[in-house]
Amino acid sequence: MLWGPITVYLFSWTAFVDLNKPAAESIRSSLNTIPMLKRVRRCSTNFSNYQNHFNHVSNKTFYHQIYDCHAYDYPENYTCRIHFQDSEEVIEEPLDGTTSLGEFPWTVYLEERIGNGSFLYKCGGALVTSSAVVTAGHCIANARDHPERFAIIAGDWDRRHNQERLPSQRRSVSRIILHPEYYSGSLFNDIAVLILDIPLNDSLANIGNVCLPTQGSEFTESNCVLTSWGASPSNPSKEEPIQRFITMPLVESSTCEGRLRTNSTLGRRFRMHRSFICAGGKVGLDSCKGSGGSPLVCQRNGSYVLAGILSWGVSCGEGIPVVFTNVAVQSSWVTRVIDSLDDNVVHFV
């Protein structure tokens, strides 16, 4: 059954460090003793004139550690979050699992206020500036004229706990801009921009924007990652409390079209739209209920670039590719929407 806004299923960072330095040796030691820690951050790609400074942060409650860089560590040409793989110590990553606090700092989630005044988890999203979030249009289409019903939570990791080592930030949504060619029946152009009432403080390591692709660029990368709090195939009826990641290779458009035709109720007349991009398709590796709007990022030139916003799928974990909104088709529109925000800059890769 097609899962979208009207059905039940709407639906690393590893750093280059100098391992010869004493401080880095302590990092290596910690890496070997804390099983959950597999990535550390590097703040810049400029090796010749920039030296990394790592702040050792320990969270014994959740048995993981991270190393984060603070605002004063960012070089002048710092743009969007950059992640690298340690060239000396390559660690085999699982195809899915739990992220670390601040590992994907652009991943946010959207809450909607219900009748009694409380807020409930709604969808995922991606931070593209300190004041703007990109999400799926179907997440907000029915309330596009009521931004006061929504809030964005950035920098969170475990939604059950409010006292994490790096604090999350909550912002009200002041404006909703739904793509003018969004169509709920087919989910064409399923994308929206949410403007926050107050800019986020992105000087903390767990909050930062993702790079946007240049308009019309094509993704051929295979090392793409979906991050969300959406339900997993093992428990498809309930969202996850802790942020998860799933590695999802991109699927060529014609291949995706064929698999959706033959493995679902869409039938032979289904056609891929230019605003669609597909990824995934491995049995048991999927993100289900509550994953709408979540970001799919791919590594490009050393950066993670926003390739897709999760839109819809026809199953949960059954090995059929998932359909995302193709952000490269929408980059110019996103940029125009937030051009009026003088204190924000969108970065492209």
| pLDDT tens, residue by residue, 109-129 | 999 999 888 999 999 999 999
| pLDDT tens, residue by residue, 29-71 | 332 322 222 332 322 223 222 223 223 333 323 323 333 333 3
Q: Which tokens is 333 given?
A: 């529109």
Please give the pLDDT value at position 92: 43
> Length of the chain in residues, anyone?
349
Please give the pLDDT value at position 290: 74
Please give the pLDDT value at position 32: 32
Please give the pLDDT value at position 90: 33
Please give the pLDDT value at position 274: 94
Three-state DSSP class for residue 225: strand
Residues in the chain with pLDDT values less than 50: 1-78, 83-94
Please give the pLDDT value at position 39: 34
Please give the pLDDT value at position 28: 31
3-state helix vs strand vs coil in the chain, percent to 5: 15, 30, 55
Strands 244-247 and 224-228, how do they pair?
Answer: antiparallel
Please give the pLDDT value at position 283: 80
Work out the number of other CB atoms within 10 angstroms of the CB of residue 324. 29
For residue 44, give every residue at least 6 positions away whose Cβ sits within 8 Å of its Cβ, in sequence order, or none: 50, 52, 74, 75, 77, 78, 82
For the chain, domains (ranges, CATH) are: 1-11+93-349 (2.40.10.10), 22-92 (no CATH)
**Is there a contact between 197 and 278 (Cβ–Cβ < 8 Å)?**
no
| Cα–Cα distance, 178 to 158 (Å, whole number) | 29
